[in-house]
Structure 1
Amino acid sequence: MRDALDTLAKKNVKVVGISPDAPGTQKKFAEKHDLPFPLLSDDDHEVAEAFGVWAEKTVRGKTSLGIVRSAFLFDEDGRLLHAWYGISPKDTVPRLLAALG
């Protein structure tokens, strides 16, 4: 996502990340990966649950609750235009750009 920000800005797209991590953890992650967009903390999973991305998943044979990596496109009025659940990071930008036309 970071590498596509110039392209997205030309299409008037604003990027925001959200995760259940604490703000301090997010700050370290953003600095490590040089992320120039905001990361929001959803440590109580309220937003994740509302969007249906806090779910049971199995990783290495262990089942637990966690985030289903997803991406959402909203218009300038806050209406949800597209939702991609279970999307891989490498597919996020191409699908976003395709949706934007």
Structure 2
Amino acid sequence: MSDTVEVGSKAPVFTMQASGGRTVSSDSLMGRPYLIYFYPKADTPGCTTQACGIQEALPQLGKLSLEVIGVSPDGLPAIEKFAKKFNLTFPLASDPDHKVADAYGTWVEKSMYGRRYMGMERSSFLVGPDGVIRNVWRKVKPAEHAAQVIKAMQALG
């Protein structure tokens, strides 16, 4: 696990399969700002609130030239179903072996009802066109996320 992904550090390199038959990669995004956000599980209440909030904000985020990628440990069939059900047009990527989540430090030990397990921390990273992390949000509140991202992008100007 990496805990060195912070504001000012170089964003980890990645290539993943994503919804809509797409492949997303850090190389293909070079020269453009992007948001990579990690969510625990497709089609669960918090993840749906977060994804739909981002989808609603896409016109505004597009005006700010921001690309968005959602990442979960789900397989592509679950991701495709989630994207279709909620008309999510931005890529949702599959990270079943947690390689990208590990690189970003979002695959963490969690605890529920006294049981410890490994899982995805709801986190987001705003990456500048130069591939450097500009903002980090850990333990994101799904309903507030899109507004936070818009505000951060406007501040980068």
1:31 corresponds to which of 75, 79, 84: 84
Which residue is 1:76 aligned to?
Answer: 129
| Aligned partner of residue 96 in structure 1, secondary structure | helix
Which residue is 1:65 aligned to?
Answer: 118
The CA distance in 2 between the partners of 1:7 and 1:83, in whole Å, is 20
Correspondence 1:86 to 2:131:
no
Question: Larger relative contact order (C-alpha < 8 A, sep ≥ 6)?
Answer: 2
* TM-superposition CA deviations, 1:26-80 (whole Å, max 9, x none): 1011111110011111110011011110001123443211000011101122211
* TM-superposition CA deviations, 1:74-95 (whole Å, max 9, x none): 1122211111011111121121
Once the two structures are overlaid, the 10-residue window that deviates more, 78-87 or 90-99, is: 90-99
The CA distance in 2 between the partners of 1:91 and 1:60, in whole Å, is 26
Which residue is 1:12 aligned to?
Answer: 65
| Aligned partner of residue 67 in structure 2, secondary structure | coil
TM norm structure 1: 0.92
Once the two structures are overlaid, the 10-residue window that deviates more, 29-38 or 51-60, is: 51-60
Percent identity reads 39
Correspondence 1:49 to 2:102:
yes
The CA distance in 1 between the partners of 2:124 and 2:136, in whole Å, is 6
Gaps of at least 5 residues in structure 1 are: none
| Aligned partner of residue 93 in structure 2, secondary structure | strand
TM norm structure 2: 0.61
Root-mean-square deviation (CA), in Å? 1.2
